[in-house]
Each structure stands twice: as C-alpha cells, then as structure tokens.
Amino acid sequence: MLTRFAPSPTGALHLGHAYSAVLAHHAARGAGGRFLIRIDDIDGSRSREEHVAASLADLMWLGLDWDGEPVRQSDRLAHYAAALDTLRTRGLVYPCFCTRADIAASLSAPHGPPNGPSGAIYPGTCRNLSATEGARRVADEPHCWRLDMASAIASAGALMWDEAGQAMRAADPAAHGDIVLARKDAPASYHLASTLDDVAMGVTHVIRGADLIASTDVHRLLQALLGLATPVYRHHALVCGPDGKRLAKRDAAASLASLRAAGADGRALAADLREGRLPAGYSLRMP
Ligand code: GLU
C-alpha cells in the first residue's frame, strides 16, 4: 500500500489537514506500506516556500514520518505538458480565449454562468472555433486549454471507481462542464497534475477529504483518457469548527502552529485523530 498527503503551500495546515495526513499515514504504516508527501505548488502566485517548511514541521510535530524526499509539482511541469499534448492530439482539448468578463457576459442570466463543482460552468464559446482560427489566435492571444467534456465522456464511456469499504461508485464528471486543464500562469490545473502525480508516485490508495469526491469524477475520466491506472479512493469526513462549518485556512485557532504554541502534544493529537477524537468544539461531518 502506498498513500500520500499533498498539501498546497498557500497557508498554514489546520486540524483538517492533520486528520487527513494521520489517516493516510496510518493506513500505509498499518499495512507495512509507504507514505509519501507531495507539495502541490503548481500555483506559483499563491505558493510560498515558508508554508512548505512550516507544513513539514507540522507533520514532524504530529510524529508522521514519510518516505523519500517530498515530490514537488513545480518539478513535474514537463509531464503535465506531455499529457496535455496527448489530449490535444486526440482533439479532446481546445484553446479558450475568453476572459472572466466574456464568460459572464455570454449568458444573459443575472448571476452569470451556473456553478459546477469546479466553479463556473463554461458556456462553450470557444469550443467550436475552427482549428485554423484556434491555431492563429494561440500564437498571439492569452488562452487556456479546456477539456471538451462531452467528447471526453463519449470517448471514455461509463466509468467507476473503487470507494474503499463501499460499493463501486459511478463517475459523473459532466457537471463540471469544460474544465480548464492548463493556462499560462498555471501550466496544469489541480485536476490534471493530481491525476498524473498520483499514478507517477505509485499511489495505491488516495485518502482525502469528502469535499474532493466531485474532483474524483474528473480524475477518473482523465485516467481513462490517458490510459492510467486507477487507485482505490477513500473520501473521509471533514473536520468542522465550533460554528459547524468546515475548517478553512483562515481559521487561525485551528492551525497546527497555534495548537503547538498553546502547548498541545502533537503525537497525542495524532493518536486521537486516528481514533476520530477531536479537540473540544471540533467535529467530523460528511458534506
Ligand atoms: N493540494 C490539494 C489540497 O490541499 C490536494 C488534494 C488531494 O488530496 O488530491 O486540496
């Protein structure tokens, strides 16, 4: 068994991250397997080196050890570009030149385009540009690359994934619409990078929060399109704060750094989290 914990270095880790890391670590170590860390630093404008160091220090404080050096997404850009090329060759992605304002204006709906699990659903404006026009504009206009969701689903057929401990789940990526897979300032989206990395790292079990179930619909589709192996998934309950809402990076009181500063024992906290016991005021909920 090989599991991973994949923090984005855009803020401090909190109890929710600790819960996820503890479950993934425990699953691997309990089975005599490996536990890897991946730094999801694909978003160069929001990622900070100080958060990388602080996250690793938090994991050590929890007593979680990992195998090898942490993998960095920023070192893997060539792999993401190659996968995008494969999809481009098969005509499953297209360049999109729309700005946010264009997307909002292309619909007469008063609140802009409807939202899907990955944000606003793209209305499809650039999907039908001719190949010649697309190629001409790619040369000198800012653009992103979108997955042609309908063609991708038609090409992949019906898909399932193994949700550990439950029946197989049907993957239903259609609700995301034509998602962005790459843009100039972020050479691969979370969906593309995460799918490729999990396979390249040899992850057998992806253990992560249930807020990412809808993302797994897309990851399963990308695996099928790119001929990649599918890990087993386990989506766990989310840690909620005293207000009943899922923790966010801005909830400073729940950050591992502040718990540590307040004198908490990291290893004891990890042992409690493993058993689903949370500090007073916090709870676990399925979204
Ligand atoms: N970096 C992502 C996050 O922190 C990882 C999600 C995942 O486990 O795939 O949300």
Amino acid in position 191: H
Co-location of 65 and 87 in the same domain: no
Task: Please indicate, yes or no, if residue 227 is contained in any of the structural domains.
Answer: no
pLDDT in tens, the chain (287 residues): 999 999 999 999 999 999 999 999 999 999 999 999 999 999 888 999 999 999 999 999 999 999 999 999 999 999 999 999 999 999 999 999 999 888 888 766 666 678 889 888 999 999 999 999 999 999 999 999 999 999 999 999 999 999 998 989 999 999 999 999 999 788 899 999 999 999 999 999 999 999 999 999 999 999 999 999 999 999 999 999 999 999 987 788 899 999 999 999 999 999 999 999 999 999 999 99
Co-location of 15 and 32 in the same domain: yes
Task: Please indicate, yes or no, if residue 33 is contained in any of the structural domains.
Answer: yes
Task: Please indicate, yes or no, if residue 195 is contained in any of the structural domains.
Answer: no
Co-location of 46 and 91 in the same domain: no
Q: Is 184 a catalytic residue?
A: no
Angstrom distance (rounded) from CA 42 to CA 6? 12
Residue 106 CA to ligand 1 centre (angstroms): 32
End position of a domain, from candidates 137, 158, 183:
183
Which residues approach ligand 1 with their CB closer than 6 A?
6-8, 40, 194, 208, 212
End position of a domain, from candidates 183, 202, 222:
183
- The residue to which tokens 């909830």 are assigned: 251
Task: Please indicate, yes or no, if residue 159 is contained in any of the structural domains.
Answer: yes
Co-location of 22 and 97 in the same domain: no
CATH no. for residue 129? 3.90.800.10
Task: Please indicate, yes or no, if residue 142 is contained in any of the structural domains.
Answer: yes
Co-location of 34 and 19 in the same domain: yes
Q: How many structural domains are present in the chain?
A: 2
Angstrom distance (rounded) from CA 189 to CA 31? 32
Tokens, residue 31: 């089975």
Instruction: Give the nearest ligand 1 atom to 198 CA.
Output: 9
Co-location of 118 and 135 in the same domain: yes
End position of a domain, from candidates 167, 183, 199:
183
Co-location of 169 and 103 in the same domain: yes
The residue segments making up the domain with residue 259 are 2-75+237-285
Co-location of 57 and 103 in the same domain: no
Residue 72 CA to ligand 1 centre (angstroms): 13
Task: Please indicate, yes or no, if residue 98 is contained in any of the structural domains.
Answer: yes
Select which of 249, 260, 265, 282 is catalytic.
249
Residue 208 CA to ligand 1 centre (angstroms): 7
How many Cα atoms sit within 13 Å of 146 on the Cβ side?
24
